[in-house]
Structures are given as structure tokens and as C-alpha cells.
Chain A
Amino acid sequence: MKLGRIFAMILLVLFALLAVVPFFWLIRSSLMRTDEMFLFPPKLLPDQWLWQNYADVFSIIPFGRYLKNTVFILIPVMAGVVVTSSMCGYSFARLRFPFKNVWFALILSTMMLPSAVTLIPTFILWSELKAINTFWPLTLPAWFGGGAFNIFLMRQFFMGIPKELDESALIDGAGFTQIYVKIMLPLVKPALIVISFFTFMSVWNDFFGPLIFLNEESKFTLALGLLQLQGLYSTDWNLVMAASAIMVVPAIVVFFVGQNYFIEGISLTGIKG
């Protein structure tokens, strides 16, 4: 029994190392000279840590602008998701209205619909509206409930709040808006944070959306910019790695800030799913 435990520990540490090694390789490569990259067998560490690579990324392509564009998409999307998914979650968790369950089932079933099915008509619509190469196609849809997943998550959280709270407020003559803003929202703050984090990640990581809707370089997001960099400087792998690291770091920082909320959110979706 004791031996089995030691063996399991070794296995766990080994797996953890495997998870970490690519990160190590990313950082190590991002700090190397170009010629150091192309050595065999590869070196573990660079001779000298070339932080200059990170500065170079910003000077050879407009990475700063890509960052700004990404943030300009991020803010309205996060606002839209937080505001509308909490409204809808409240409604589906608490209010009784005709066909509620039908609507909810329909909304949930969209999770199984491949986005490719709606992509082409949506693209045609946005091009008719002359909105290709603007941020509208990437931001406006977030204001429609923020997606089935977030509505579902919010609903789960609202259902966990004791019913007596809003019922007694109702008897005291409070309206539904008042109850939602003054009683419910403060209680689901953790859920709103979970959703903000998930939304941050999905916008930060989104590649397909920007690829379809943005084709002018001045509108590119970081993800597209990174691809651009790889296309233009395909031999400067150290710069590509530095740029990748620049994209990874904010995601990791955000993760560490909200780690506990993240874990809570993930566990919740899994069990209740």
C-alpha cells in the first residue's frame, strides 16, 4: 500500500513536469538569440537572457495596436455578457412566465449547434450592414444573453439563493427590477466574477471570429497579430515565442487573480451538467 502511494506520487510529479515543460520551453526560447535556437542538441538555457526580444516584438509589428484592439473588443463583450446573462439567469431561475421551459430548453440546445451552421448567414448579414472590419460582429452578439453556457451558469447560481429573500421583498412591495438589482445581484457577485473570467479568456483566445470578421491589419487582435508575425518572420522563432509569451502572460495573471472562482465555476458546470 505504502509502495503504491510512492509510485502514485512519482507519477503525479512526472505528469506535472510534462505539463510545465512546454511553458519552460516557451520562455527559454523567447529569450534566445536566433542562432541559439537552431542548435542541435538544443541548449536548455540561453547564454544570455535576451529581454530585448520582447521589445523587438513591439517594434517590428504594431503589437501595441493589436493589444488595444483586443481590449476594445474585450470591454464591451464582458459588459454585455455580465449584464445580460445575469438578467436572463435571474429570469429563468426565479420568475414564472408562459413557455419559460421551452425557451430555456431551446437556448440550452444551442450549445450543441456547431457555429459553422450560423456562421455564413451571420457573415452575409454583417457584410450587408457594411460592418466587416469593425468590432460590431465580435461585440454586439454578447449583449444577447452572453451565450447559453453563461445563462445556464447564472441560473444555477440564482437557484442557490434562498427563495424567502425575494418573496419577502415582494410582500414588502418591491418590484422585480428592485429585487434583481438590490437583493439578487449583490448575492451572485461570485458568479459574475466567474463569468467575467471565462469571458475574458474566451475573447482573449478567440481566433476564428477575428479571422472571419477582421481583415485589415489596423483592426487585428493579438491572436491575428501573432499569426501575422509568424508569417512575416518565420525564421525568427525567438520573436514568435516572445510574442506568444506576451499573449500567454495576461491570461495566466488573470487566472491567478481569479483562481478560486475559476475552480468553483468549473466544478459547478461539471457536477450540475
Chain B
Amino acid sequence: MNKAPRRPQLKKREAVAGYLFAMPAILGLLLWTIGPMVASLAISLTDWEIIGGAQWVGLDNYREILTDDLFFKKSLLVTVYFALGSVLVTMLASIAVALLMNMEIKGQAIFRTVFYLPTIVPAVAASMLWVWLFNPDFGLFNAILKTVGLPSLMWIYDETTVIPSLILMGVWGCGGAALIILAGLQDVPKHLLEAVDIDGGNAWHKFRFVTIPMISPVIFFNLIMGLIGSLQAFTQAFVMTGGGPNNGTLFYVYLIYREAFQSNHFGYASALAWILFLLIALLTAVVFRSSNSWVYYGGGK
């Protein structure tokens, strides 16, 4: 008899405690995400500038962006080029590094550290360093090219090579993704790999038909995070190229930054931000959709 009335009371106490403990996150969600999202959508329908009031302009900002704005087109193009390029190249590099690290070798911990170190370099410092490495006259890369008898490049100072250069710089930081993939590789069941041996398969068969399917959830995770991250690239362009040459690195977030904080077009910049949001949502949805056909979740999931 003692227990029965206690239960609902405890349940209520638990619910109250649950809300109190989760309160920072719930308040944060409302105050820093949902609130600003609603405000941002409203602002995007005005011609809000820092000085002077805001006029309701309906969808004019969106119409102007989609039909008139040459910077928008250029920016979208270079951002998607960079995002797809860097996700693809970084993914291949990190799978390669993870596979190599997965060998049973001495000093694995040292290699792990060496590959991870570049990812902890602050973006501004990394940008400074790479500007110097890319320097066409006195930089390391052109020195190497000359030593092996190849023509030197303009790297970030030429519209055609600037994006590949920034992708290369991104590959330097592939260690984080490589470690995640390595963790996935170490979970690949040994008996599956042995089964391939028994069936007379070779290393490629193991890789293609066991390893890849088994680590596909990890690849999927990295793909999504990489895509979301690289579509929002900013610092490299801001520090290294100023968006140039010839707007060749006018990344989308840079365009938003320019409109909002240099030209004070808050309404227009908000509309740009919403278009970015839709783009990211769309691309993520496409990847999620496709994942049914290539991501394999073992029984454990």
C-alpha cells in the first residue's frame, strides 16, 4: 500500500527534474535558434539596413538574388565546386590514411598523432602558413616544383588553381576524418575477412565487399558533416584570398558576411542565408536518400 501512491508522485518529480536539467538546452534552442530563425525569415522579407527603418518588401530580396545577382551565381558555383571537391578528395585521402594506419605496425600511436596534428591548427594560423607555402616567388611548393623540373604555379593567385589549392590545404586536415574511419575499420569483424580468404578472394575483394560495406555508416557520417562544413567555408577565403582572384573564392558565407557586415544589407543577407539553408537541407536530403542503397547497417544498429 505504501508503494502505489508513491509511483505517480515520483514520475511527476522525475518529469520536473527532467525539464529543469534540460532547461539550458531548451531555452537555448528557443532563444538562440528558433527565435532568431523566425526573426531571420522576417528580416529576409524586408530591406532592413542598419540606419533607417525596415520596409516590407515581400519576396523582392529573393527575386533579386535569383534573377539579378551575379555575385550570387558566382558564389554558388565556387562554393559548390569547393564543397564537392574537398569532400571527395578529403574522403579518399582519409580512407587511404586510415587503411594504412590500420596495418599492424609499430608506432601506430605516433602516426595517429602526426595525422591528427594539422586538424588542431587554428584556421587563421593555418591560413597564414599556407599563404606563405603557396607564395609563387618564395614559397615551398614552387621550390619543390622547380627542383623536380616542373613549371611553377600561381596557386591561390590564379582563378583556375585557387580552389584546387584550397582543397589541397583541406586535405592536410584530413586526419580527423581518418581517425573516425580508423575506428570504423577496427570494428570490422575478423571472421568476415577470413571468410573471403576461405572463398579464395584477394585483398581487393576484402576491401570492396567487406571493408567498404562495414565502414559505410562512418563514411556516410563524414560525408554529411564534411558537406555541411565545407558549404560554410569562410576563414580561408577571408584571410588568404579576400574572395579573389576575380571572385574565384567568393564563398557563400563570405558573400553573406560582405552583404551583412560590410554593406549593412541585413534583409538581403538574411535572404541569402535562407537560400544557403535550403541548399544544405536539399543536399543533405539527397545524400540521406541515396544512403539506403549504399550504407549498410549491421545487426548491431
Which residues of A approach B to under 8 Å, CB–CB?
4-5, 8-9, 11-12, 15-16, 18-23, 25-26, 29, 37-42, 84, 87-88, 90-92, 95-98, 100, 103, 106-107, 110-125, 141, 143-145, 151, 170, 175-177, 180, 201, 204-205, 207-208, 211-212, 222-223, 226-227, 230, 237, 240-241, 243-245, 247-248, 251-252, 255-256, 259, 262-263, 266-267, 269-271, 273
Contact = CB atoms under 8 A, between A and B. Distances in A.
Contact of A207 (B27, B123, B276): B123
Interface in B95-122: 96-97, 100-101, 103, 105, 111-118, 120-122
B281 interface: yes
B187 to A, nearest CB: 7
Given A21-B140, A22-B129, A91-B18, 8 more contacts: A90-B21, A91-B17, A91-B22, A96-B18, A112-B280, A113-B33, A176-B17, A241-B132
B189 interface: no
A106 B25 CA distance: 10
Nearest to B99: A8
5 nearest CB pairs, A to B:
A144-B28, A97-B18, A270-B180, A145-B25, A95-B18
B211 interface: no
Given A19-B117, A176-B17, A103 B22 contact: yes
A240 B128 contact: yes
A112 B280 CA distance: 8
5 contacts: A170-B10, A207-B122, A207-B235, A212-B261, A237-B132
Contacts, number: 266
A141 B32 contact: yes
A117 B34 CA distance: 10
B58 interface: no
A95 to B, nearest CB: 4
A271 B25 contact: no
Contact of B121 (A40, A248, A271): A248
A121 B36 contact: yes
Interface of B: 10-11, 13-19, 21-22, 24-29, 31-33, 35-37, 39-40, 43, 96-97, 100-101, 103, 105, 111-118, 120-125, 128-130, 132-133, 137-140, 143, 146-147, 172, 175-176, 179-181, 183-184, 187, 203, 218, 221-222, 225, 228, 231-232, 234-235, 238-239, 253, 256, 260-261, 266, 269-270, 272-274, 276-277, 280-281, 284
B40 A23 contact: no
Given A25-B129, A176-B14, A37 B281 contact: no
B172 A19 contact: yes
Nearest to A42: B143
Secondary structure type dominating chain B contacts: helix
Contacts of A42: 138-140, 143
